[in-house]
């Protein structure tokens, strides 16, 4: 039975599918599912509805709300819980509002219905990446405020657009604006990944994404002849050099058991273009590569290697960058660091096993770190398959609810970190 057939067999009036409220459902889960139903899907995300949703919640919780339009149609929403000593550096809880596209024919349920099955699994685009974290932040603060708690440090929640397409009209612009500077950020939390084991993965740094297009020029002619120095021959040499390096890194990851995906350079050929007709040898071809480089790699030496591969392929071979991120800042995970000590100590108190890694892709954390602020990538989803950007993305409601408890403890600890030497 196909996925489409299964979806069509769903009851038409199932309240969990239609978006009606279930009186027996935890209100935090209901809010999470409401947020999931807002179609902030690229390339045309409904940001206006998302911002109104967040404003409504901020008003309910008595939080200050600020909206910063970093460019037309791209608004950063900031909800602020003021601390008792606002001169201290603040805690920033960041999340993005957009989600990646879907191929609905491969989904068991409508990816924007937030359908919950009998096991409590909530299916929706953004269930893991990362609307769960947004609502967990909110509900953790709701819980703390209901308990009458107050903390010295101010807590900001930032909800940013366009992370899924690079953050160039979102966090990258925001960190350069005076409104970000006035947040007085001391430490930030952002997204991580699910972990199928009992362990929680924590990310203290990220790879540098390099997107390059290699262009080759060669002799054209009739498709029946053995023409010398064709673009295809040169492109073959380029691709061979790049993919041989890819295989070496792949084997290194397999053979050195202590390594994770974040510790090696990933490289993939993602686009190949050239030619106009079957019987015409093209004079030009191009290939696009997505390269992700860990912070342990010398970027200057790596680019020299790219240049050497292109030079070895022959004359008329060049490359251009479509993205070249070079900041290799990482956040301290030493117990002597007060922020990490508060984070890791709280997790130990909750008997959480942490695994520290370099994030294998890229998130908005890289812009926060580049601006000089420590940031940790963390999504409290253990015993959960990694399904970000995948079909049938889901999160179990019990995992979601536990994440609220985890964030409540983490926010309490981080917002209570004693004044640092620079703040005295």
* Active-site residue flag, 163: yes
- 373 annotated as a binding-site residue: no
CA angle 211, 96, 142 (to 5 degrees): 160
- 191 annotated as a binding-site residue: yes
Residue of 98, 190, 217, 364 marked catalytic? 98
C-alpha span between 345 and 349 (Å, rounded): 6
Quick one: which of 389, 410, 374, 357 has its CA closest to 130?
A: 389
Label the pairing between strands 74-81 and 121-123.
unpaired
Q: Is 264 helix (H, G, I), strand (E, B) or coil?
A: coil
C-alpha span between 209 and 360 (Å, rounded): 10
Q: What is the dihedral of CA 195, 201, 204, 205, to 10 degrees?
A: -20
C-alpha span between 36 and 132 (Å, rounded): 9
- 96 annotated as a binding-site residue: yes
- Looking at the DSSP assignment, which residues form a beta bridge with residue 378? 202
Q: How far is CA 76 from CA 44, 189, 378, in A?
A: 17, 16, 21
- 129 annotated as a binding-site residue: yes
* Active-site residue flag, 98: yes
Residue of 162, 163, 190, 397 marked catalytic? 163
Kindly list the catalytic residues. 98, 163
User: What residues are designated binding site for Zn(2+)?
Assistant: 96, 129, 164, 191, 389
């Amino acid at each position: 039975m196909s996925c489409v057939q299964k979806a069509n067999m769903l009851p038409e009036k199932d309240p969990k599918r239609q978006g009606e409220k279930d009186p027996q459902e935890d209100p935090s889960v209901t809010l999470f599912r409401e947020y999931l139903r807002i179609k902030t899907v690229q390339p045309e995300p409904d940001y206006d509805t998302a911002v109104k949703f967040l404003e409504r919640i901020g008003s309910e919780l008595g939080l200050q709300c600020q909206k910063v339009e970093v460019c037309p149609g791209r608004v950063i929403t900031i909800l602020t819980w003021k601390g008792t000593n606002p001169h201290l550096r603040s805690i920033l809880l960041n999340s993005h509002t957009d989600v990646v596209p879907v191929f609905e024919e491969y989904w068991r349920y409508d990816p924007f219905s937030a359908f919950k099955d009998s096991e409590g699994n909530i299916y929706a685009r953004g269930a893991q990446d990362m609307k769960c974290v947004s609502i967990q932040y909110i509900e953790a603060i709701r819980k703390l405020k209901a308990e009458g708690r107050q903390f010295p440090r101010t807590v900001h929640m930032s909800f940013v657009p366009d992370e899924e397409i690079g953050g160039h009209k979102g966090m990258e612009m925001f960190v350069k604006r005076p409104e970000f500077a006035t947040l007085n950020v001391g430490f930030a939390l952002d997204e991580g990944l699910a972990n199928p084991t009992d362990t929680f993965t924590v990310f203290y740094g990220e790879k540098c994404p390099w997107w390059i297009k290699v262009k080759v020029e060669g002799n054209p002619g009739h498709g029946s002849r053995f023409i010398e120095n064709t673009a295809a021959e040169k492109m073959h040499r380029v691709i061979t050099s790049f993919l041989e390096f890819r295989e070496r890194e792949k084997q290194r990851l397999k053979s050195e058991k202590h390594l994770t995906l974040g510790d090696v350079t990933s490289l993939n050929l993602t686009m190949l273009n050239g030619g106009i007709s079957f019987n015409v040898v093209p004079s030009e071809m191009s290939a696009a590569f997505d390269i992700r480089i860990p912070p342990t790699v010398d970027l200057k030496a790596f680019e020299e290697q790219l240049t050497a591969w292109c030079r070895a392929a022959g004359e008329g071979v060049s490359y251009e960058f479509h993205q070249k991120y070079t900041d290799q800042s990482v956040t301290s995970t030493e117990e002597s660091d007060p922020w990490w000590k508060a984070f890791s100590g709280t997790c130990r108190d909750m008997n959480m096993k942490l695994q520290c890694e370099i994030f294998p892709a890229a998130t908005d954390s890289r812009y926060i770190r580049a601006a000089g602020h420590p940031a940790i990538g963390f999504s409290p989803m253990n015993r959960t398959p990694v399904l970000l950007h995948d079909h049938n993305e889901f999160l179990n409601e019990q995992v979601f609810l536990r994440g609220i408890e985890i964030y409540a403890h983490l926010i309490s600890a981080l917002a209570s970190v004693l004044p640092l030497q620079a703040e005295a």
